Amino acid sequence: MDNNKVVWSEGMFLSPQHFQQQERYVEHFTREFVGQISPNSYGLTHLELDRTMLSIGKVSVRRAKGIFPDGTPFEIEQALVIDVPKNTSHKKVYLALPVSRPGTIDVGEDVRLRHSANEHPVYDTSREHSDPVQLELAQMNIQLKLEGDELKDFILIAVAEISEHKSEGAVILNQAFIPQSLHFGVSSYLTDSVADVFAQVQYRSRAIHARLQAETSSKSYQSLMRDYLWLQVMGAWMPKLEQWNLDNTFLTRHLYLECVSMAGQMQGLEGKMPKSFPAWNQNDLYSIFSSVFAELLVLLREVQIDNVSTLKWDRQLFASRRLLRTLVDDRSLYNQGRFVLVVSSSMGATRLSEEFPRAAKLAGNGDIAGLVRNALSGVPLRHLPYAPSELKSLNDAAYFEIDTKSDLWQALVKRDEAIALHIDERIDDIHVDFHVIR
C-alpha cells in the first residue's frame, strides 16, 4: 500500500501526507514503467573527476549526472570530496545516496537521511510582477563512500577504483576501471576502444576494396566471395561505429549487445562457431567489454590477410638462360602458406602435368646453376589433380605444390635468398604464376 495512489474526493481535508503519498505513487509508477520497459537503465550519463586532487590523497567528483539503481535521477553540480586513507588499494569509490524507507523521516540535517532541506526563493511564473516566496526544497544527500565503509543503508554507483595510495600521498586510479555507465561515453576506455575498432574497420574495408579493384584473374570465386562478404559486413558496421564515435550517448548495455553481434557475425565469416561471451554485468563492465573488444581486434587482423599472395617473377634472364627468379619479402609466408605454381601452355594441362616436373628445377638462387649443370633434381613439385579452392580453375593449366619440407627448400629459407625456377626448352610457350595460399 505504500506506493498506491491517493483517492481524491470532494470535501476531504488535506494534509501533507496526501501530497507525500501522491508523490510516492507517481515516483513508483514512473520507475516501474521505465524499469519494466528498459531493465538495468541506471548508471552515469556524465562524470567529471578533479584529477588535481589525486596528488594530495583525495578523490573528487566535480560534476556528475545519471540515475541511481533505484531509478532516482540525480545531478551533482558542486564538488564532492573524500579523503583516501593511507595504504588503501584496490577499492572502489561510490556515489552513495541514503535509501528511502516507507514510514520513516527522509528529510533533515542528518546526512544519513535521504534529503536535506534548503530554503530557496520561488517566483510566481503566472504573473509578470511577483515577490518570491521562500520554500523549503529537498536536496539529495549524495556522498562519496569507499568500498569497505558501512554501505548497507545506501544506494550506490561506482565511479572509480583506487589502485594504490602511494607513500608520498598521491592516489593512483585504475585506468582500466569502467564506471557504472548508462551512456558509454562516460568511460574513456570504452570511447577509446570504439574509436580503435572504428579505425580498424575503416582501414580493413579500404584494404579489401583495393584488393577487389586490383587484378583478380588468378583468384577463385570462393576467395573473391570471401572478400565481398567481409566488405559487406564491415560496410554495415562502419556507419554505426562512426555514429557511436561522434555521439557517445549510446546506452552502454546496447553497445555491448551490438559488439557481441558484430563479433559473432565476423566469426561466422571465418567459418567459426560464434563464441559465447559473458552475460551483461553492470557491476563488472571491464571484464565483459575487454573480452569482446579483444576478439573483435583479432578478427579484424585476420581480415587484413589476403589468403592468396602472388609472387612476381623477374623475367630478365628467361630469354637467355630460361631462368625465373622472385623474392619473398614477407617471411611469415614461409611458415603459413602453401606455395603453388600455376603452369599454362598450348600443350594442355594433361601433358603439362607429366612434362613440367621433368623440364623444371626449383631451388635457391645460389644452388640453381649447379643443379642444372649437373642434371640434379631441385625441390620436389607435387602435381595437384585440380586447382586449390582459393585459385581460379583454368582449363589449360596444371597446378603444382612445392614440397616445403625438402632440404633444398629449407636451405633457401634459411639463407633468405631468391627463389629460382629453371625451365628447359622442351616446353616452349610456357607461362608460370607463383602463388602463396594461406
Give the lowest-confidence range in 157-161, 163-167, 252-256: 163-167
pTM: 0.73
pLDDT higher than threshold 60 for residue 306: yes
- Confidence band for 128, pLDDT divided at 50, 70 and 90: confident
Q: Please provide residue 378's backbone torsions phi and psi, each rounded to the nearest 5 degrees.
A: -95, -155
pLDDT higher than threshold 90 for residue 191: yes
Give the lowest-confidence range in 102-106, 294-298, 416-420: 102-106
pLDDT higher than threshold 60 for residue 158: yes
pLDDT higher than threshold 60 for residue 304: no
- Confidence band for 4, pLDDT divided at 50, 70 and 90: confident
- In tens, the pLDDT along 38-55 reads 888 899 999 999 999 999
- For the record, the C-alpha cell of 328 comes out as 619473398
Task: Name, in order, each residue with C-beta under 8 angstroms of 84's C-beta and a sequence gap of 6 or more.
Answer: 57, 58, 59, 146, 162, 165, 171
Q: What is the pLDDT of residue 313?
A: 92
CB 227 within 8 A of CB 235: no
**37-181 is classed in which CATH architecture?**
Sandwich (2.60)
Long-range CB contacts (< 8 A, 24+ apart) of 286-293?
Answer: 286/176, 286/177, 286/178, 286/189, 288/256, 289/178, 289/189, 289/190, 289/193, 289/256, 289/259, 290/176, 292/256, 292/259, 292/260, 292/263, 293/193, 293/196, 293/197, 293/259
* Mean pLDDT (whole number) for 66-74: 93
- In tens, the pLDDT along 350-371 reads 888 888 999 999 999 989 999 9
* Mean pLDDT (whole number) for 93-115: 87
Q: What is the pLDDT of residue 215?
A: 57
| Average pLDDT score, the chain | 88
Which residue ranges make up each domain of the chain? 37-181, 183-298, 306-435
pLDDT: which is higher, 128 or 65: 65
pLDDT: which is higher, 179 or 12: 179
Give the lowest-confidence range in 154-163, 203-212, 410-419: 203-212
- In tens, the pLDDT along 362-398 reads 999 989 999 988 888 999 999 988 887 777 777 788 9
Q: Please provide residue 172's backbone torsions phi and psi, each rounded to the nearest 5 degrees.
A: -110, 125
- In tens, the pLDDT along 232-246 reads 998 999 999 999 999
pLDDT higher than threshold 60 for residue 170: yes
- Confidence band for 76, pLDDT divided at 50, 70 and 90: very high
